[in-house]
Amino acid sequence: MTDVTATHNRSSQLVMSLFALIVFAILVSLGIWQVERLQWKEALIARIEARIHAQPAPLPAPSTWTDMKPLDYDYAHTRVTGRLDPTREALIFRGSGKVGEGSSQPGYWIMAPLLLADGSSLLVNRGFVPLANKEAFSRPDPQRGQEVTLTGLLRAPEERNLFTPADTAAKGEWYTRDPLAIAAALGLPNPAPFSLDEDAHEAAPGQPAGGATVFDIPNNHLSYAGTWFGLAGTLLGVFAYFMWRRRRG
């Protein structure tokens, strides 16, 4: 009977040891994955910092647009010349945005088409305006209809999620920055798959002043890695203590 009990105890200890080893390996693997993600995120942030502080470069040629991926151009500081279309624009709702030196309030990004000399078009985020300046007549813009040279940051389309409201293209109101969908609704020729966040500039009251880009790139991978490695260490300590108590008992 004693041999049977001893065999059972050894078997149970082996099963628990294997289970603890598997869980330990999973926790360590998750920690290593977060360290790799940390390195990737730091490289991404460094690349963005370099791009936004670089001198504005010419807009990529339309022939290259279909082959470009967001990582190729997102946040690239760019200069482009074209004519601002005075007859078309889109509004992208934002829950909050700064107006002058005042507090944040809800409003819209003003997306204006820039028609290029080669027959293509680019949506330009001219900046944020509060709800009171939603209508174009409340913010007359002397540059509309004129040829202008603008500088700003190229931006990739925004992704939707389960909580994103449906766009109302018929009213020209959107909840995500989707350049191709907006361009299709506005009937723009040969649209770019990205948009341009215009650089900040002086603007009359009620006018969008550019500089709408939000630099909010979370980087919590170090704390996540510490959590997984900490759990792995805790598991190892608890298991060692448990086995020590069983052997003493």
Side chain identity at 143, as an amino acid letter?
Q
Work out the burial of residue 16: count CB atoms within 10 Å of its CB; fewer than 13 is exposed, 13-18 middle, 19 or more buried: middle
178 bridge partner residues? none
232, 30 in Cβ contact below 8 A?
no
pLDDT in tens, 99-149: 666 667 889 999 999 999 999 999 999 999 988 888 887 787 777 778 999
For residue range 180-203, what is the model confidence (pLDDT) as tens digits? 999 999 999 999 999 999 998 877
Phi then psi for residue 96, to 5 deg, are: -160, 150
Does the pLDDT value for residue 219 go beyond 80?
yes
| Cβ neighbours, 10 Å, residue 230 | 12
- pTM greater than 0.85: no
Q: Does 44 have pLDDT greater than 50?
A: yes
pLDDT at 1: 46
Confidence band of 5 (pLDDT split at 50, 70, 90): low
